[in-house]
Every structure is written in structure tokens, then in C-alpha cells.
Structure 1
Amino acid sequence: MSLLRKAALRAVAVLTGCVLIIASLLALDRAFPPPIPEKPAVSAEVLDHDGQLLRAYAASDGYWRLATSLDQVDPNFVDMLITYEDKRFWDHGGIDPLAIARAALQFVTHGRIVSGGSTLSMQLARLIEPRDSRSVAAKLKQALRALQIERRLSKREILERYLTLAPYGGNLEGVRAASLAWFGKEPKRLTVSEAALLVALPQMPEKRRPDRNLKTAGAARDRVLQRMVEAGKLGEREAARAALDSVPGARRALPALAAHTADLALKTARAGVPPRLTLKKSVQQGLEAVARNAAAKLGPKLSVAMMMADSRTGDILGEVGSASYFDGGRAGWIDMTRTLRSPGSTLKPFIYGLAFEQGMVAQETLIEDSPADFSGYRPKNFDMGYQGDVSVRQALQLSLNVPAVRVLDAVGPARLMARFRQAGVSPALPLNQAPGLAIGLGGVGMSLRDLVQLYCGLANGGRVEPLRDGTGKEAAKEAATTLLDPAANWQVIDILSGVRPPEGAAPRGIAYKTGTSYGYRDAWSVGFDGRYVLGVWVGRADAAAIPGLSGYVSAAPILFEGFARSGLAAVPLPPRPAGVVVPRREDLPVTLARFGPASGAGNVAGVAEPAPRIVFPPDGARVDLGAASSEASPLVLKLQGGRAPFRWLANGKPLSGLDRTRTATWQPDGAGYSTLTVIDAAGRAASVKVFVE
């Protein structure tokens, strides 16, 4: 056999052997794949509007392990980690022969391990498949697993898995959990000192825990800094300055904000997708601090709930269900923002708003505050005293009960409830009972969330955007609805803006109302500026009475403190709408000078006529008067019932003179919606809305 043929046969044999070896390795690789989970079991997260972490939950095994991507980590930390642990990470295929050779030589020279030869891929293999011993066989298996991992994951994926699973002592795993626990911040931006400490800890996570071995942790950090100087990544002065920074000696709690809302969001969240709420982390932090401090001052069993919303969008920015979620004495696990309670006097602004809308009252209209009997219902003022004749403005600012019931009697409880339902709020009434006058003083079930939604209508010019917090429990987004017309809405705002702030509170430029439920069980305060609405509830979750509890004393100071700590810039209250006037008392027409209720509590004696009713134009009619032309026709107005003389108003403005007949005329000043109101001598009113074309 020729030499050439022998050489060819040897080459074929070698090649065949190599193919067989490779095939065997591939077969073994397929038969014994590395136990790489599709996704590591990580902590559930709930995010705020801007993607910041609001609340984290420990993983099923009790570890704090937050999913980590490279985009969430400071690039300088990643560079420092690779330089320190595996400087050829981007080039090798799972094992670094040069590093292994260096480690072996150092072991022979020094008689001990000076530096390891493990790559980040090998360390990841150890994290997903912990070894039983430190034997040579275990090390070889780890190296083989690293090669397998490199075939299945990209370098970026390997690095992200490591950053998610690396141990940091105790039940902390991953760089995000460690950064939050030791520095109280995400690892997106780290100082040089912080980055060096996070590089050092995974090598000996228990021995280097800063909360147990502060000096050891500091020394390990300094060694990382020195290695960076030797590698040319840091200057000596920069490393020296970083070494002067103190190492945190205590572990912080991971973010645990918005407990009730976060729990609710997780129930409806898609698996593996952190729910994102409308809440803002800074606002939530401020409100929770205020609620916690206030509850500590109020007493051991009292709790505080708060809710802040953006009236223009309906987004809830802060939601505090209780002062302390884990406080059993306060029943902190109960979300008091959604619990039905008596709203006290907080509904009075809407009663007066309807009266303004129907042209029944002006701010300086006199109304009687004296004992009254409404078919057996005898309301009393909070202080059990009476003021006599007061203006409507004073009656609302002082939150007098009897005047509010007088106005509600004229407006009609059913109309008030219908307006609430139109605004997306459905108050709870006793079973099979129609709305009565008691609802004006809190005789109805309503939640803090309901109240905030109603007051968002006041802050938003009478238009209500449905509230939402991102939990998925809200109905589909609907268009804004009308609570009050803009003119009446502004009249209410103007009155509430004049309510005196609680003692010691800094003026904020807000309009607000307080309320106290029957039996001193609930204290409320709801306020707003030109955009943001904040509601506060104080009481016991078991609805027990608290002597001395009141909205003005107990809840209002929390309201003002909440606005101050929210971090939101104050927005001025809306200006007076065009055409809206606030006449002086002496300038009021006779029908608006004094308010007279529509039924037997103080009405004009001997009135037997039925209440007035506008029969033409009918409510909701579209009337073609040629409003767009210069020769628009006047509209004839007709009514039935009532007692002459009659005062007609168009969009809140009195028409000239008093009419003793039941017909009148009105010349529209343009096309669009208009509200026509008639008031009789007994102070009873009727209104219709028409669209003039």
C-alpha cells in the first residue's frame, strides 16, 4: 500500500472519529439538556403610571427575585461585573481556557485558589443546577453545562439570567432586589461605590452581607475597586473617592405601596405581565405617609382612607385603603375607599348646585335656618343651634342642615339621585325605599371613591370622567357625563372656595367640603383645585361611634396635608364663566330675594295651587326659530299651575319684569342648548332644556 493511500486512510479515520465524537456529544446534549427554565420564578410586580415599581411580592419559594433586563441596569455596573468576573465573556463559548490555565497556575504557585476560572456562563449553570460538592467532577459538569447554555441562549440572555438569579444574601436574589434592599433604588443609576459592592456580594453572599458583616462587605467592595484600577476602568482618585463612601449597614424593605389596589390588580393581570396602574408613585408615597401619621395621632383603632384623582382624565393618582395594611387593630386589610358608609354633609354642594341650575337661588338669596317639620322629618343642625335668616352662601359654607333640606325638598330627592346616577354613581338606599330628604344629610350609602368621582365633576366644570385606577375592575371607558351645568357648577365652587381652612393649615387655594355621619361614625373631607381632587375618610372599619369625631376637626387637616405632600403643583380654580353674575342682595329680583320651599315646611301660607309646570316648550325639545338669521323669531313660553306673579329665567338670567299671566316670550341670543326656568310667588320652580336652531 502506498504511503499516499495510507495517509488518506488515516485522514478518513481521524475525520470519522471526529464526526463520531461530535455526533456523540450532540446526542448527549440532546439526551441530557441543561435544566434551563423558560422563565425563572420571579416576584410578582405592580407598576405605577410611569412604570416605576409600586409593590413587589416574594416569589413562591420565599425569595425576592425581580425579573431583570439589561435595560434596567446601569451599563457601568455591567461593564464592571464582566471585567471582574469574566473579561472575555463576549468572546468565549462558555468556558475560558486562558482563565482556567491562569487559575491552575496560581493554585500551583500559591498552594491555594487565588482567582477562579469560572465564567458567567458557568456561574449561571451553578445557579440553575446547584452542585452537591466542590469536586473536580462537579466542576467538569458545570463546564459542560456552560457549553450547553451557550448553545441555547444568547450572550444577552445569559447575562440577564445571571442578573436575575445571582445571590445577594438572605432571601435576596438578583441585582434589582439587592439594589432596592441595600440602596432603596433601582439599579438603573448606581454610584461607583454601589456598583462595586453589587459586583462583590454574589461571590460570598452570606459572609459579605452588609447588615451582618459590614467590614467584610466594605473590604470586598474595595478589592473590586482596586481591580478596576488595574484593568484601566477607573482612575486611582475616582476609586479612592468611591472607597470613602459608606456601605449601607441595614437592609430596606422592598416597595410595598398601594397594598389594596395592587392585590386587586394582580387578580385580573395577565400571567407574566406586571399590571400598570394609573397611580403615581410619588403621590402614593406622600398620601400613605400622611395617612400613617394621622392614624397614629387619632388613636389605635381609627383608620384613614384617601383617594386623589385627576378630574380631567379620571385617572386615580393615589389610593390609600387604610392607614396600615397589616395593622389588625385598625382592620387594615379592609379597603375603605370602596366600602359604603354614610357621607354626612358632603352631598350638600350638589343640592345647591341643582337649585342654582334651576334658577331657584342666588348666592345672596336669604333662606331660613330654623326648626322645620317635613311631614314628620325634623332635621337639626350639627351644633343643635339655629342661625335664623342666612344667605345661601352662608348656609353651604356653614353646612347648615335645615336650609339644605329645605332646598332639597324643592329640588326633589329623586332628581338629585338621578343626577348622581347620570354621573356614574349609584348610592345605596334601604331596600324597597324611595329616596327621601334624609339623603341630603347622609342618609344613603356611598363610598369614598363615589364621592371623589362626584367632586371630580365639580373640579372639571360640571363634567364627570369615570374614575379608573388600572386594576381592570372598572367598566369600559365611557364619555364624560354632565353633573351640573357650567354656570351652576361655578357658583358652587365659588362658595366652597370661601370655606375657612382648618386651624394651622396653610392656605392652598382649594374648594372643599366636610361631613360627619350620624352617630360620629365617619368623618369626611373632599377638596379640589382646578384639576386634582382629594377625598379623605376617617373612622373605624367596624363602624363604631367615635365621640368627638368630625369632618372639620378630624378629616380636613388631613386633606390639606395630603395636598401638600402629594407633590403635585397647585392648579388655580376655574375662572367665572362668561355671562355668570353674582348679584348683591339688594340687586336680587323679588323672586330670588328669599327662598321659599315647595311644600309645607315654611311655604307661603294658603297656597293651594299645584306647583308650576312648563308645558311649552317641552323638556328636550329642538325648536327651529331661525337663530342663525338676523330675523330670529321669539319663543312663546307657556306654563300651568303655580301662583302668580311668575319670574322667568333663561340660562340663569332673569327676563325683564314679572308676569301675572301664564304665557311669556323669550328672544334667544343664539343657537344651542338653553335652560328655561320659571319661579312662582311661593318659590316653587320648574325648568326645561331646549335646543334652539
Structure 2
Amino acid sequence: MMRGGLIFAVAAGLFLAATARDFGDACIDATDLPELTLQTSVEVADRNGALLRVYTVADGRWRLGVALSEVDPAYIAALLAYEDKRFYSHGGVDARAVLRAGAQAVLNGHIVSGGSTLTMQVARLLEESGTGHVGGKLRQMRVALALERRLTKAQILTLYLQLAPYGGNLEGIRAATLSYFGKEPLRLTPAEAALLVAIPQSPEARRPDRSVEAATDARDRVLARARRDGLIDDDQLQAVRTEVVPSARRPFPAIAPHLADRVLAEEPGVQRHQVTLDKTLQTKLEQLAREVVAQQGARLQVALVVADHTSGEVLASVGSAAFQADQRAGFIDMTLGIRSPGSTLKPLIYGLAFDQGLAHPETLIEDRPTDFNGYRPQNFDRQYRGTIRIREALQQSLNIPVVLLTDAMGPAKLLAALDKAGVKYQLPGGTAGLAIALGGIGVRLEDMVQLYAMIARGGVSLPLIHQMKGERPEGQRVLTPASAWQLGDILAGLAPPPGAPANRLAYKTGTSYGHRDAWAIGYDGRHVIGVWMGRPDGTPVPGAFGADLAAPVLFQAFARLKPSLTPQPPAPPSTLLVSNIELPQPLRKFRSRTAAFEADKDAPAVAFPPDGSEVELLPEGLLVRVSGGKAPFTWLANGAPVVVAEGGRAVMLDNLGLGFVTLSVIDAEGRSARTKVRLR
């Protein structure tokens, strides 16, 4: 009977244990877990993966995503040795650690060690619960057991790496290493790893920026444990303990803030953006922008764009000198501001004229006061050069010649070319007149850089891109290779600003009406840079000229981009490289579209006798005079030559006879004039 009772008791005990186990399993399986997909900081990285800008999560914390493979293995080893030696063997709760912690508490009268596993710490961090109450500890155990059933050890460890508190609004190891050490967590010194193990145990008390002493003491305890566990030797311990603990937090990267905000707006759901910028170059040009405005008035602003014109990739984009709400309106991205381009559209107009056979760089054109149906443009200096080569007209940025060409082509031709080049523009009043040739149109710096990249690329336009991913669109031809090369050859002949190297950078400056905008855009065989300076509110900047204000910044930007320019390509085979006298007759001198109906300003004219007059014929003949034209002159009476190749402008004609006679004069270029008179 006793034996039967023992068997029953054992069976009952086993049944109760199994029932308790099954009940426990059911409870664990039924555990509602907190959200396991963490919100991490949105990041913007450069073309090489270097961080440009990081954003806080919704509650203002810095919590950066990290993978286990992106963390120094030595740190992981130190963390497990110090916090949870049996992490890979327990099921979420380490019974031995719990019993040890309980015994220590009983013997010492206070808590010596907590007995929490890393999984339990993850449970607490996920639920943001405390550890001071038995109920809270039991809840953490239950959640930890449930986590171990649903996640891998690597996933649990990754959650800890993202959630561990490091004081203030820092969460996770990447936020800590960037803030305290200014680097990623993949390569850490033993002292750095020990500090990162120590801080989460008491993150506010051990914050290095609050108490270097407390942080150092905690780090040294972790290092001592690492020595005891054989992770480092005595020599290493002595060496790393001399390493100074940082006493301040570093700011998180905020490079290229305007472009970073832009890509976030373009793709709000993306966690990590990789842009085409180069962090080193971007940093150099942001520093240049700060230096430039520091020498100017409190309201003057600057913007720069650098692109590789062979690919269309933007390598640097500086929207302002400082991303702040100051008198310069630094929060406004002036690479996208709509501004008047001044004279920077002139190269496109000349290129179109070359392609249409209206002109050649050696063509002569008039720079004289001209009335275009009531529109009377003037040169910036209010001076006129008379007959001048197209090459010189562009280099001197004269207004009358470029308006003559625009008038000959029609403004619509220029707008069509801008459309094909992908340039977005705004027309004042919605209509295009001849004034667009001189900046009477609104464009963006980024688009102007794209336009000059087209010229530098041999006349083929590619949209500028600022993200590494996505399809690369095919280019559109806007200018012929010969015309694009000719523009580069002309612009490379411009004298550099005082003090700048004479490196044949092809560049053009511009100043908008009222000195509101100063521009300089230039390119070599690989890169194109655009500079805009002015006030974001559009108020005038007295005395501001593109050549004086923006051009020096352009040359400085190229100097910070690379030590020397990339050579321009050679002239395409189709390029007509001749002097003016060797040009085909129609290209030697520009004639407007109405030239056939207009008198040549320098054409010959019969100065005497006037047309329709009655003149007395003297015994020695008739005195005639010619004005204008080019000597020598040939005179005809009723179609018959009377005097041939006369060098003077006055000559006596004889053997004419009385009555009506038609007198004609022909100059050396074949131009003629005539008058009809009655001789008595």
C-alpha cells in the first residue's frame, strides 16, 4: 500500500509539474509583445556612404539603425562578458544568475547584482518599464522568454544595440559612438568599448558630458573585469586606462542640410538616402561660403553647385552660408531660388546663332544704339564699340549684339532650347520678349549649372541628379558639338579675376538688373561650378557685379575642388577654324533678318548732286561727291562707266551732255547708290 501511494505521489508530482510547464508555456506564448520594429533616425549619406545628416526620431531621440556586423566584435565580447555570460545558452532568463542575485541580496541586505539578462534588458527597454518592483521584474522575465521564442539571439542582441541608453536623448551604440567619439562603432579601442558597456547601467549618472569622473570609474571597472576574464592582458589594461574619456558630446552631422531636407521631402518613407555629394568637397565649399559672406554685409547670401558634367551627378550643393534663421535667410535653399540670370544666358544665344548659320566667332557685328520697335537696350557701361567680332562681343558681354541675334532668331527659339536643356524658367508677365537675352527671365542656379554642363558636354543636355539610385535618363542634343566647343573656346579666353590663376577656365559672369544678383558659372573638361550671390529677398546690392563678386568665388571653388583643371577636349572635326576674311561671304558680317529691307549704315550715298535736282553743267564738267562706302569708287552715267577706281570722294565728271542723267556710284564692296538730276 505504501509503495502504491509513493507511485501515486510521484505521478501526481510529475502531472502537476507538466501542468505547470504547459501552463507556463501557454502564458509565454500568449504574451503580447511590444512593437519590435523600431523607429530609427533617418540618415543621409554621401556617395561613399559617409554620413552627411542624421534626423532624430519622433520623440526627439537620436536612435540610429545598426546591424550586428557593423559593431566591433571586441565590444560585443566585452558586453556579454560583463552583462550576460550565458546569453547564448539561456532561454531569456538565467536561473543561476537570478538565484545568485537573490542570495547576494539576502546575505548583504541590499541588491548587489540584478540578475537581468540582456534579453530581459531588451524587454525593459522595449516597454520602457522600471526594474524596482517584483511585478515589473516578473513581467520582464515573461517578455524575455517570449522574445527568445520569437526572435534569434542575433535579433535580440541587435535590439539591445539600438535601444541601450547612453544619457540624455542618446539611444543605441551608433548614437553613442558618433556623439562621444565622432565615429562609427565598427572600430573601437578597448577603453571606448568598456565605456560603452558601462554607461547603460546608469546612463544619467555615468554620462561623460555630465561627470567624467563617474564615467571613468565605471569604465575602469569594466576594464578590470575584462582583464579578469582574459579579454585583455596587464599591459593592455595599463595602457588603455590612460585613455582620456571625452567630456563633451559632438554634434551629429548636419552637412548639406538643404539637399538633405530635399531628398526627405522627395521620398519621405525611405530610412537611408544615399546622395551623389562628396562629403569632403561639400565640407570645403560650405567653409568657403562662410568665409565669403563673412567679408560682406549682414544680408548678403551665397549659393554654390558643383557637378560632374560627364555624368550629371551633383558633387556639392551649398544652399546658403549657414542653415539658420538669420538676416541672410539661411534656411532658404538659394540653389533653387528663382532669380534673374543677367548675362549668363548669352552663351546659349550665341551657340544657337552659330548652329543656325547666323554667325561665327569671327563674324563682325555692330554694337551701336539700336531701336527694336521701342525697346532700346544699352550696354552696362553705356558705351558702344562699333563693329566688333562676335568672339569679343561675348567676352565683353555686350548687350546690343546678343539682342540683335535674339531678334534674328526670335525669343521662342531661345525658350525652346531652354526646354530641351531641361531648364525650368519663369517669364515675367507670361510672355517672352527680347529682354530675356539680358536676363528678363527667372531661373534657378541649379538649372543654370545644368545648362553650362550641356555646353561643356558638347551640346548634349543631361538632367542633374543628386541621388545615387534611379535610372539615368538619356541626354538631348541642344547644340552641335562644333558650336559648343566654340563657346568654350571663347569663354576660356576671358581674363581671370585679379589674383586668380590664368588657367583658361571657361566661364561667364552675370549681373541682373538693379544689382540684385551676381553670377559666375564655369567649367573645365570634367566639372562645372555655379555661384550665385545676392540677397534672398531680392533687394538690390549696390555696386555688386558678377565679375567682381561671384567670379573670385568661382575660381576659389575650383581650387578647392582639385589642384589643376581638366583640359578641354580638342575641336570637333566639323569646327570651322578660320579668320574673318576666310569665312563664307554671308558669315563675314552679321545681317539682321530685316537687313534686305534696310539701308546699310556704312553704304555709299551720293552726297552731291542731290536726287531730283537741276544742276548747271560747267565747262570742265560736273562735280560729284560720295559719302559712306569704301574706296575706291566707280562712277556711271546712265549705266556707262565714266570714272573707274577713283580713290577720292569728290571727282569731276565730263562728257555728260545736257538733259536728264542717272548717276551711280559703286564702292569697293559692290554696294551702290544713285541719283537722278537734270543738267542745264
1:285-324 → structure 2 map (5 Å cutoff):
285-324=283-322
Residues in 1 aligned to 2:284 and 2:347: alpha-carbon distance in whole angstroms: 28
Q: Would you say 1:155 and 2:150 are equivalent positions?
A: no
Q: Which 10-residue stretch deviates more, 208-217 or 543-552?
A: 208-217
What is the CA-CA distance between 1:41 and the residue it aligns to?
A: 2.9
Q: Would you say 1:19 and 2:18 are equivalent positions?
A: yes
Match of 1:527? 522
- Per the alignment, do residues 148 and 332 of structure 1 end up closer, same or farther by CA in structure 2, a change over 3 Å counting? same
- Per the alignment, do residues 504 and 178 of structure 1 end up closer, same or farther by CA in structure 2, a change over 3 Å counting? farther
1:154-233 → structure 2 map (5 Å cutoff):
154-233=152-231
Does structure 1 conserve the Cα–Cα contact (< 8 Å) formed by 2:31 and 2:142?
no
2:12 maps to a residue whose letter is A
Deviation readout 1:4-45 (Å, 9 max, x if unpaired): x555534432332122112221332244434x2131233233
Does structure 2 conserve the Cα–Cα contact (< 8 Å) formed by 1:284 and 1:566?
no
Deviation readout 1:373-400 (Å, 9 max, x if unpaired): 3222222222333334433222222222
- Per the alignment, do residues 21 and 509 of structure 1 end up closer, same or farther by CA in structure 2, a change over 3 Å counting? farther
Give the SS at the match of 1:376. Answer: coil
Q: Would you say 1:494 and 2:493 are equivalent positions?
A: no
Does structure 1 conserve the Cα–Cα contact (< 8 Å) formed by 2:63 and 2:170?
yes
What is the CA-CA distance between 1:606 and the residue it aligns to?
A: 8.4
Give the SS at the match of 1:329. Answer: coil
Deviation readout 1:332-358 (Å, 9 max, x if unpaired): 232222222111000111111112223
1:77 maps to a residue whose letter is Y
Q: Which 10-residue stretch deviates more, 95-104 or 79-88?
A: 95-104
What is the CA-CA distance between 1:162 and the residue it aligns to?
A: 0.9
Residues in 2 aligned to 1:430 and 1:176: alpha-carbon distance in whole angstroms: 51
Match of 1:583? 578
Give the SS at the match of 1:402. Answer: helix
Match of 1:460? 457
Does structure 2 conserve the Cα–Cα contact (< 8 Å) formed by 1:535 and 1:559?
yes
1:356-367 → structure 2 map (5 Å cutoff):
356-367=354-365
Percent of aligned pairs sharing the same letter: 48
What is the CA-CA distance between 1:544 and the residue it aligns to?
A: 0.5
Does structure 2 conserve the Cα–Cα contact (< 8 Å) formed by 1:520 and 1:545?
yes
Give the SS at the match of 1:20. Answer: helix
Q: Would you say 1:536 and 2:536 are equivalent positions?
A: no
2:407 maps to a residue whose letter is D
Match of 1:396? 394
Q: Which 10-residue stretch deviates more, 303-312 or 158-167?
A: 303-312
Structure number with greater Rg is 2
Match of 2:371? 373
1:361 maps to a residue whose letter is A
1:307-456 → structure 2 map (5 Å cutoff):
307-433=305-431, 435-456=432-453
Residues in 1 aligned to 2:564 and 2:122: alpha-carbon distance in whole angstroms: 47
Residues in 1 aligned to 2:565 and 2:169: alpha-carbon distance in whole angstroms: 43
1:380 maps to a residue whose letter is Q
Residues in 2 aligned to 1:483 and 1:72: alpha-carbon distance in whole angstroms: 47
- Per the alignment, do residues 349 and 191 of structure 1 end up closer, same or farther by CA in structure 2, a change over 3 Å counting? farther
Give the number of equivalent residue pairs: 606
Match of 2:498? 503
What is the CA-CA distance between 1:121 and the residue it aligns to?
A: 1.1
1:64-75 → structure 2 map (5 Å cutoff):
64-75=62-73
What is the CA-CA distance between 1:300 and the residue it aligns to?
A: 1.7
Match of 1:143? 141
Deviation readout 1:269-299 (Å, 9 max, x if unpaired): 2636334333333333333332233233222
Does structure 2 conserve the Cα–Cα contact (< 8 Å) formed by 1:374 and 1:601?
no
Give the SS at the match of 1:41. Answer: coil
Does structure 2 conserve the Cα–Cα contact (< 8 Å) formed by 1:360 and 1:592?
yes
What is the CA-CA distance between 1:190 and the residue it aligns to?
A: 2.7
- Per the alignment, do residues 390 and 200 of structure 1 end up closer, same or farther by CA in structure 2, a change over 3 Å counting? farther
What is the CA-CA distance between 1:109 and the residue it aligns to?
A: 7.0
- Per the alignment, do residues 29 and 109 of structure 1 end up closer, same or farther by CA in structure 2, a change over 3 Å counting? closer
Does structure 1 conserve the Cα–Cα contact (< 8 Å) formed by 2:29 and 2:146?
no
Residues in 1 aligned to 2:108 and 2:505: alpha-carbon distance in whole angstroms: 74
What is the CA-CA distance between 1:79 and the residue it aligns to?
A: 2.5
- Per the alignment, do residues 74 and 602 of structure 1 end up closer, same or farther by CA in structure 2, a change over 3 Å counting? farther
Residues in 2 aligned to 1:285 and 1:274: alpha-carbon distance in whole angstroms: 20
Unaligned runs of 5+ in 2: 604-668, 672-680
Match of 2:676? none
2:339 maps to a residue whose letter is R
What is the CA-CA distance between 1:145 and the residue it aligns to?
A: 2.9
1:266-281 → structure 2 map (5 Å cutoff):
266-269=264-267, 271=269, 273-281=271-279
Give the SS at the match of 1:525. Answer: strand
- Per the alignment, do residues 229 and 587 of structure 1 end up closer, same or farther by CA in structure 2, a change over 3 Å counting? farther
Give the SS at the match of 1:43. Answer: coil
Does structure 2 conserve the Cα–Cα contact (< 8 Å) formed by 1:591 and 1:681?
no
1:60 maps to a residue whose letter is A
Match of 1:238? 236
- Per the alignment, do residues 30 and 95 of structure 1 end up closer, same or farther by CA in structure 2, a change over 3 Å counting? closer
Q: Would you say 1:549 and 2:544 are equivalent positions?
A: yes
Residues in 1 aligned to 2:125 and 2:346: alpha-carbon distance in whole angstroms: 63
2:571 maps to a residue whose letter is R
Match of 1:41? 39
What is the CA-CA distance between 1:163 and the residue it aligns to?
A: 1.1
- Per the alignment, do residues 603 and 391 of structure 1 end up closer, same or farther by CA in structure 2, a change over 3 Å counting? farther
Residues in 2 aligned to 1:326 and 1:257: alpha-carbon distance in whole angstroms: 13
Q: Which 10-residue stretch deviates more, 565-574 or 438-447?
A: 565-574
- Per the alignment, do residues 345 and 272 of structure 1 end up closer, same or farther by CA in structure 2, a change over 3 Å counting? closer
What is the CA-CA distance between 1:78 and the residue it aligns to?
A: 2.2
Residues in 2 aligned to 1:149 and 1:508: alpha-carbon distance in whole angstroms: 66
Deviation readout 1:481-536 (Å, 9 max, x if unpaired): 01111011011111112222323334566322111100011111112222322222
TM-score (normalised: structure 2) = 0.81
- Per the alignment, do residues 601 and 243 of structure 1 end up closer, same or farther by CA in structure 2, a change over 3 Å counting? farther
Match of 1:666? none
Residues in 1 aligned to 2:14 and 2:500: alpha-carbon distance in whole angstroms: 88
Q: Which 10-residue stretch deviates more, 323-332 or 268-277?
A: 268-277
Residues in 2 aligned to 1:48 and 1:561: alpha-carbon distance in whole angstroms: 23
Give the SS at the match of 1:12. Answer: helix
Give the SS at the match of 1:271. Answer: coil
What is the CA-CA distance between 1:456 and the residue it aligns to?
A: 1.5
Does structure 1 conserve the Cα–Cα contact (< 8 Å) formed by 2:61 and 2:171?
yes
